[in-house]
Structure 1
């Protein structure tokens, strides 16, 4: 935005002396002009339909078909039933809401920049983004992230065993740190051993790297075993696994339903070493899943927010 021209005029004051005064914008006017940033016109209506399939997936982190299915699933929610506005602007269409949220999750672009791209105000974007994320978590999460059905369990076990020969595996568990800004409250608890603030995301994945259970919210300093013991999965695991088990790293406690590797003290037997290699090689799938998650949804690399409750809901 170019600066307004500074026009000066001379004025004779009450004493007869001549002074120069600036004929510029007042402070209030300048502030208003500073935030009157031009929006990107017709991005959704004109530019976006011209994207090739690969372009759409690059920017919105899913193919158009998946986008349409998600849109259909959430459109029945009461919060998104279109209202007839009695005054002011017409409401933002739901497909535009979803596009904005996907752009937000898939990029580290600033909120103001995203709002400009989609031709809405910053406050409108924040309000709609928060509402949509809430609906996605409350209405869609349980139907997408779920434990394998009884008919599917044997397939999961067989596919896990085909990878490294480890039998009876229904899932791999691990945790990852989501980097955040320093919270307003109890910030030392969130400062982890890698010397940055974070919250912990615990997850289980199946053989195809699809998540079957997620649990998030503990501060970054908390040990993995404590996170696990306080998660709903801890009590539900016997019912999920039956005579089988999930696998994790050495931070997790050994039980009938969760199998970690042996602690390598340098004196493992050959059988223990082979067990360790097979388990660790199989468990690597959950690490790959976290890598794919953060690669697709780049917002998870760093969340510049201090509202822990809302961050967890994301």
Structure 2
């Protein structure tokens, strides 16, 4: 395996393409002292390890303060609107149809266009409103919602909420929820798969708890669990490649900056998948730190009709098994 890929998670060709895109489509620039390529390598090194120590090996004259400034500049560039096109929810019927077919083929579940869950990204205690970030597991974090497809490509990421926020609240506040709702109103039979921490909806299917052995409900739930494992694997791959996101690293940044680092890692994750780049040999996934461990969803009073509609669609799915 090439040393560049081992240390920075990208191969030479993909690295050059990334630098070219950043130069053409963002305001990121190098200087005589620090070329842009060094800034990008410096950032990739930090994101891949969560440590400043190895950055010295990228450029001997970089101090930690200078390296930190370079990282902020590159992370900001990776959050540029052009770069964010690498993370795009399914906008066309063709895109949704393609993913539906793959979930149907692999897991015998119809209508599925993605899997959703939240995961905690550890941060240091914020100076303000730290209670919003203190999660039920006993540390400060961002509770990051992601949606992925069958190939572990990230379709949507929302890192704006603290670790104390429930998964279902983040979902209800996201841009994807009204989009899926609108697709349902137009008669489109598509949905996401979520765990029991989410409310059952016509556009969001959750597992059936305590299903009787051998029943259609158990068959559905088994397929649901197997398919939804895509998001668990996505979290594992993301965090093990971009180890600044691992729990024991803890991002030493303001929550707003930490959220941009999360997005930058997601952009790079999708770029690497698209290349495609083989997994580094040292990738070892961290056990998934689930957002709310399947805690009961926080429901609104006005949601009972949607719940009944969701159950009706679920029953129709069961009848097809």
**Is the Cα contact below 8 Å between 1:201 and 1:214 reproduced in 2?**
yes
TM-score (norm 2): 0.73
Partner of 1:68: 16
2:123 maps to 1:180: yes
When residues 82 and 104 of structure 1 are mapped into structure 2, their CA distance, relative to the original with a 3 A threshold, is: closer
Structure ID, larger Rg: 1
Q: Distance in 2 between matches of 1:160 and 1:293?
A: 21
2:36 maps to 1:94: yes
Deviation at 1:105, TM superposition (A): 0.2
**Is the Cα contact below 8 Å between 2:43 and 2:74 reproduced in 1?**
yes
2:220 maps to 1:275: yes
Q: Distance in 2 between matches of 1:201 and 1:81?
A: 30
Deviation at 1:269, TM superposition (A): 7.8
| 2:50 paired residue among 91, 108, 122 | 108
When residues 240 and 180 of structure 1 are mapped into structure 2, their CA distance, relative to the original with a 3 A threshold, is: farther
For structure 2, list consecutive stretches of 5 or more residues without a partner in the other structure: 262-321
Higher RCO, 1 vs 2 (CA within 8 Å, ≥6 residues apart):
2
**Is the Cα contact below 8 Å between 2:212 and 2:218 reproduced in 1?**
no
Q: Distance in 1 between matches of 2:114 and 2:251?
A: 32
**Is the Cα contact below 8 Å between 2:100 and 2:112 reproduced in 1?**
yes
Partner of 1:15: none
Q: Distance in 2 between matches of 1:81 and 1:55?
A: 25
Please give the root-mean-square deviation of Cα atoms over the aligned residues, in Å: 2.1
When residues 307 and 134 of structure 1 are mapped into structure 2, their CA distance, relative to the original with a 3 A threshold, is: same
**Is the Cα contact below 8 Å between 2:121 and 2:144 reproduced in 1?**
yes
**Is the Cα contact below 8 Å between 2:26 and 2:80 reproduced in 1?**
no
Q: Distance in 1 between matches of 2:65 and 2:183?
A: 43
Name the count of aligned residue pairs.
Answer: 254
**Is the Cα contact below 8 Å between 2:167 and 2:198 reproduced in 1?**
yes
> Aligned to 1:195, what secondary structure does the other structure show?
coil
| 2:169 paired residue among 221, 226, 236 | 226
**Is the Cα contact below 8 Å between 1:147 and 1:240 reproduced in 2?**
no
Range moving further from structure 2, 121-130 or 209-218:
121-130
Deviation at 1:162, TM superposition (A): 1.7
**Is the Cα contact below 8 Å between 2:78 and 2:84 reproduced in 1?**
no
2:163 maps to 1:205: no
| 2:7 paired residue among 55, 59, 65 | 59
Deviation at 1:270, TM superposition (A): 1.2
| 1:299 paired residue among 241, 244, 254 | 244
Partner of 1:157: 100
TM-score (norm 1): 0.75
Q: Distance in 2 between matches of 1:203 and 1:107?
A: 22
Q: Distance in 1 between matches of 2:94 and 2:233?
A: 26
Deviation at 1:80, TM superposition (A): 2.7
Q: Distance in 2 between matches of 1:126 and 1:212?
A: 29
**Is the Cα contact below 8 Å between 1:204 and 1:286 reproduced in 2?**
yes
| 1:252 paired residue among 198, 223, 226 | 198
Deviation at 1:280, TM superposition (A): 1.1
Deviation at 1:117, TM superposition (A): 4.4
> Aligned to 2:165, what secondary structure does the other structure show?
coil
Partner of 1:123: 65
For structure 1, list consecutive stretches of 5 or more residues without a partner in the other structure: 1-52, 84-89
| 1:142 paired residue among 74, 81, 84 | 84
